Structure 1
């Protein structure tokens, strides 16, 4: 339990402020609904989105470090993957990847 609290505190301390992920001004919003994963899976099955299994290796090929977590969100009305990645120096960044095309749109933090 203490370990989970420490991890949560670390992620909160290193993450960009929530306002950085607000849906306003074309910036991404974090997906918070329970159906987000189901919607993403359905979109992958229907061919509307690329699978996360293609996104993670793409990031790993360009960045040293380790995959932590992914959530879905929205940027400018388009679905995005928000991929948390721990860099070798311990910093955590969030890569923003267009879920339809697989294009890297940017990153937050780091």
Structure 2
């Protein structure tokens, strides 16, 4: 009986906890939006509205030796951007914020 009560309490608590989590502050940069980002990015590249990620990686690699860890899409100062997580050869991690339309590096954080 205790098990059933515990399961019921958990089932009721999970939706409430999920609703309590904010999805971000509109005043802060988004380090990755929601689902469908890859499809939207591919469509933007095909439509010429966005540079391909391979070009962004090549630009970063030419300036900062290391390796690509992860990339998300988001918004930076009202513009679509790539947030590229990069590890330098000495182990530091840098997040490059790259304008998705021009491919220009807007900012680098960390490292």
Aligned partner of 1:49 in structure 2 is: 50
Aligned structure 1 segments of 4 or more residues deviating by more than 2 angstroms: none
Higher relative contact order (CA 8 A, sep 6+): 1
Q: Is the 8 A contact 1:28 1:75 kept in 2?
A: yes
Q: Assess, with a 3 A threshold, how the Cα gap between structure 1 residues 22 and 91 changes in structure 2: closer, same or farther.
A: farther
Give the superposition deviation at 1:23.
4.2
Aligned partner of 1:96 in structure 2 is: 97
1:51-105 CA distance string (max 9 Å, x none): 0010001000000111111100101221000001001121111000000011110
Rg larger in 1 or in 2?
2
Q: Is the 8 A contact 1:65 1:86 kept in 2?
A: yes
How many positions carry a matched residue from both structures?
88
TM-score by length of 2: 0.73
Unaligned runs of 5+ in 2: 1-23
RMSD: 1.5
TM-score by length of 1: 0.74
Distance in 2, matches of 1:61 and 1:87, equals 12
